[in-house]
Structure 1
């Protein structure tokens, strides 16, 4: 399926070249009548579209279009070098890449108070259609992006999963390889940015580039960090290629935060968290309804026709503080406390109600931290990561029991955070080999976090012996591609040999099939 997945300098498909040619042709982009009738903005001396454009949260009749104007992306005040007034932005959505068949257009106001970001919620479109979109402001024209609406019935779906893209640890080649595949959707499972000061979190191989500014605390800090990440051409290409579903994890705010609790004892943490949430919304293709005052509601459902429902979770904002500390711990009995929650009561009810009511053939539970039990200690004894579902074991067991009891159709958990590919089968009781398989879990490795990575056959074999419900592990960087039909899902774990320099090829290092009605990984 052809699509727009890059700009002219970094183009990777025929569409990329056509998009770049159109972007350089000024008057071809918006009809003269539109320009004359609706002046878009005052002239801007420099290109304001340095952060690219994006789309997200598609429905059968609509999609969200996003951009942020920032001619100087990392300006110290966090306002991107924009003038101190609101700016009118024109937008177009067309049925073809040349924009000869414009089906919707209009203007939006990029307000200074929201860092001149724009969220356009387009509706009235046809289901199951590919569309192209672009923006115009201050006499400048953005690249063109490809998006699509959800189908009306049961149509095949291809989506990519990504997570954990530390700017300093490596280049974003994984995003470029996702763009080349031109999937229907991209599901991003958190750690889109990292909040650390420059060189504050060192990868084993050292830094390949450096954060601008200091540790993120103020609204300006978070805006600058998002803007810096958004300037990456490979990330921009992935946004141009497909609509995204996004959900944050911890580093969009602070490492290992939990509900109202700072992992570092930050005295004004709730105010800091509110600033981080605001900057996150300003930089993501999210609907306005996601904003809730000084907070954000990231858990939501997105339906892909009758084939799939994505139940996106928030495993940070409503959780109890981690038991026994944040990392891997041995002998932590507090993690088994039946009152501990990672979802919170309201979100848990929302999830279970939605799963019980779902009529989709596949139900994807998109969330942030490893759900499968993983004993990291080889040999006698156990050691579990308190930041994942192992730190909330009783709630996990209740959730999986309920999914089994209700008979949820084809539940599949999609996970990030771990910086390591996993393929696992989920059971209510991992210690009991007779405990029923309830769902499969697919965990994507990081885009760049922790540098090049490695694959240690002996270490992997030892971990798999300790965790027989886990079928595959790989500590190299990469992403996951899922191809879904009514009958089955095929999963490709894609890995990169390096991220310390650009251009690594991606190859499939494991492939699994999951057949409808059978929560089992078939190699």
Structure 2
């Protein structure tokens, strides 16, 4: 298939077993590699974690895989022998690899948990490619990826999806498979890719539907094991193989609500927290399709970066954990004086300057912030006190104001903020002054619900949620699991909020709950579709106080 289309049905077959005859079709390896392979044959398929690609540009992308015979081995090394393996790779312009354009060999080492990152360039812009790996006589599943348009070209419309919050214990990853079926060009993961808790440490009403292996993640072996368990999920593998990803973390990749060098509970002595942070960073890099610029250096990792989609869009991928000031009054909803301290930042001042400079230099039609926590103000109190989440941008008001003013002063054509974290779909209009509902709208925020976190959730009538009454700039809310699928062209960004009826059993279908359109140079939200609310239980019968309490509890879990 050379038209860029991607068959998930065929892909699903390839995930569960290598294509027959694939080894025979692969050119003979170099003699040294062949000799190394003969020295100790692997007893079974090492591609149990699938394949992935990421961080595309107009010349190339990153290819990833990690060898593992036993993904949840307690030592985190995937049951692999303590030796290096040559991993052969191929890139083709067709799914059956009749037209191979690049091939080579990388080395999988025990020191990196036998992960492989292949960084390619000098490929043709704005086209799809297929890739695969081989070790000995084992061939990986086939992945589809692509390059971006040339810097001076818009290219065709961009199909971009974004997701967040996939708690393995809370449900099945059906939303990842449904996302793959959409055949996106690019997938953004905005954090909480995996969760750190031990088995049952984060339990939903009715009980978890499956369980974590291993203890709470604190060591490198723990984090490697946990990533292995998640990556072994076939639905997640299908999504990784469908398109290039751009990933950023939130808190659960390390520790719930961590901030820079401060753990969730600083009052409890944790002398090993920085070692834990370094271990989490190392395992994150090993398991993600990231460029070498993101290789960790101890407790530091360069994760904020830009992905340019020709002239159509700049994706400013942010890191709101590694450099933030600690939450001023705890992590939950508070009336907190520290929230308005002008010296505090959620990104760190260097990243703020980098972002604002990017606004000034941008010539893209759309400037998109891929980031983690709620950006717009969300006051949960109808009275004079302002009660907001201190873990979100509401806890760093001056930082939000500097960045918002930065894109306004730079005359960014279409600023859009993409968000995860809160386990529900939201859509909001962005303001310089949220306390004045009549003030000018200067951007839009789209928030993706979780893949599974929080369990099935429930359908809801957005008009009945008190947050929307207290905050008129908030336009939409839905508490079901899912993802957001967007189509970006020169004239508009269309966002479909996709939901699943349940995630407690595998295979649920997805459907559109609501559609919003952001028009070029019109920084507001136009709702073009809303699926009627069909209550199972009467959502509106609950008091405002109860609805607010449930919303806050859902997004601020603390065991």
TM-score range with shorter-chain normalisation? Answer: over 0.9
| 1:431 matched residue in structure 2 | 435
| 1:490 matched residue in structure 2 | 494
TM-score, with structure 1 as normaliser: 0.95
Pairs aligned (count)? 515
Contact residue 96 and residue 131 of structure 1 kept, 8 A: yes
Question: Shift of residue 338 of structure 1?
Answer: 1.3
Contact residue 367 and residue 414 of structure 1 kept, 8 A: yes
| 1:154 matched residue in structure 2 | 154
2:22 to 26, 32, 35: 26
User: Which shows bigger deviation, 266-275 or 276-285?
Assistant: 266-275
2:424 is the counterpart of 1:420 = yes
Distance 1:172 1:432, change over 3 A: same
Q: 1:129-148 alignment to 2 at 5 Å?
A: 129-148=127-146
| 2:455 matched residue in structure 1 | 451
Distance 1:508 1:387, change over 3 A: same
2:323 is the counterpart of 1:318 = yes
| 1:297 matched residue in structure 2 | 302
Distance 1:149 1:78, change over 3 A: same
Deviations 1:153-175 (A, max 9, x none): 11210011100000000110110
Q: 1:352-371 alignment to 2 at 5 Å?
A: 352-371=356-375
Deviations 1:85-125 (A, max 9, x none): 11110000000000010000000000110000000001111
| 2:100 matched residue in structure 1 | 102
Deviations 1:323-353 (A, max 9, x none): 1101112x22221111111011110000000
Question: Shift of residue 31 of structure 1?
Answer: 2.0
Distance 1:350 1:14, change over 3 A: same
Inter-partner Cα distance in structure 1 for 2:423 and 2:154: 33
* Two-structure CA RMSD over aligned residues (Å): 1.7
Inter-partner Cα distance in structure 2 for 1:4 and 1:141: 19
Inter-partner Cα distance in structure 1 for 2:462 and 2:111: 54
Q: Secondary structure at the match of 1:255?
A: coil
Contact residue 282 and residue 296 of structure 2 kept, 8 A: no
| 1:190 matched residue in structure 2 | 191
Contact residue 23 and residue 137 of structure 2 kept, 8 A: no
Question: Shift of residue 377 of structure 1?
Answer: 3.2
Structure 2, unaligned stretches of length 5 or more? 528-559
Contact residue 309 and residue 360 of structure 1 kept, 8 A: yes
2:341 is the counterpart of 1:337 = yes
Contact residue 115 and residue 287 of structure 2 kept, 8 A: yes
2:503 is the counterpart of 1:499 = yes
2:520 to 512, 516, 519: 516
Question: Shift of residue 390 of structure 1?
Answer: 0.4
Contact residue 359 and residue 406 of structure 2 kept, 8 A: no
Inter-partner Cα distance in structure 2 for 1:284 and 1:112: 17
Contact residue 398 and residue 428 of structure 1 kept, 8 A: no
User: Which shows bigger deviation, 256-265 or 375-384?
Assistant: 375-384
| 1:84 matched residue in structure 2 | 82
Inter-partner Cα distance in structure 2 for 1:444 and 1:462: 19
Inter-partner Cα distance in structure 1 for 2:135 and 2:522: 51
Distance 1:224 1:292, change over 3 A: closer
Structure 1, unaligned stretches of length 5 or more? 6-11
Question: Shift of residue 240 of structure 1?
Answer: 0.7
2:438 is the counterpart of 1:473 = no
Inter-partner Cα distance in structure 2 for 1:121 and 1:502: 35
